[in-house]
Structure 1
Amino acid sequence: MMKYFYGIVILIMLLTGCQNENQSAEANTNEVPEYMADYVANPQVPDDRLLQESGQSITDEKGKVTLKRMKQINQTYKIGDMELTIHDVKLIHLEPDESLIDYFHVLTHEKTFDYVKMFVEINNTAKEKRKFAPVALLETDQGEKVSWEKDIYLEGLNDSLEGSQSRSGNIGFILEDSEQIDQFHFSTSAVFDQQDQKVAEAKTIEIEW
């Protein structure tokens, strides 16, 4: 009887392992979207570019990421002289490598967690320098609020842009309550010139899954 029991346990473990391998294999057969082709992998967060279907996962030296939800947006919003293009939005579960737990510890005490992220492109259409942040404050339909200071990617998307300069990358925020999210909205910053004078008001953008 015990041999039969252990046999069932081993079979379940093997099937689970095969399923996880298949999910990773499916992700690895996906092609990197053209708008992310030149993206340089973040040093703290696993590269999720191949994750395009719910349930797919990728594991690397930085940990394991599993895609929970994704939506292609591919929409450009104009905020004064700034053009903000949101290419995609993802809800991802992250199991960081032990070496990176301290990095995330200042943002969450959980060892694994969900975060929402967007891949964006910012384009300054003016001839002069502009200061602009794509996300100043994010709020979910569950009432959770996260400010720009808690962006986990830190890819310099809030830095000023010279005239006609563009920049692209990820911006993402850890969420404490992500299970019931159907939508969220975020406010950009206002747009400022090189003398720190406001030249355009902030814009609020809504995202629905």
Structure 2
Amino acid sequence: MSSAAPTPQVTVLAGPTSVGKSTLSRYIRTTFPQVHFSVSATTRPARPGEVDGEDYLFLSDEEFDRLLEAEAFLEWAVVHQRYRYGTLRSTVDEAQAEGKNVLLEIDLQGARQVRQRLPEAHFVFLAPPTFEDLVRRLTGRGTESAEEQQRRLETARIELAAEPEFDVTIINDDVDRAARELIAQMGIELTTNA
């Protein structure tokens, strides 16, 4: 009699704004195809180069409201006092049913909700080498106004203080190294597309 296969792991990747979560996730997507990403939904407009359904599911406020009413989200939050983001429960459940380990790239509020709903998930905090490095990343990308940058830096200070809530911290000082460390944390064999 064979025992049932273990439920595939859900790994939550969170960290302060501008730490490079999206950059790291894009790198992992192209380099480590064995990782399944749950694409978050958001009410924020797409940035240049972002693809609907690949980077995010870009939803109207009305669509997001309908999904909230249907209790379709595993987690959701208002980020930077402005836009809503969320993870659809169905995308995680479907991937796990297919035997895939799932990576959620979400914010701190979302990570806390997932911890309540999926305490067995593995929680990884992505941190900058220094706070000054985080400021350079945020101001250097030029996608936010000075007012928005200030709001995000205030949020980042709060988010950095939450690091002890996570199972492990990865310093994002080199994308390849950080990606390999995250893959190892997920227990996935390190094979690449190359």
Report the TM-score when normalising by structure 2.
0.28
Report the TM-score when normalising by structure 1.
0.26
If asked which structure has higher relative contact order (CA below 8 Å, sep 6+), I would say 2
Q: Larger % of strand: which?
A: 1
Quick check: which has more Rg, 1 or 2? 1
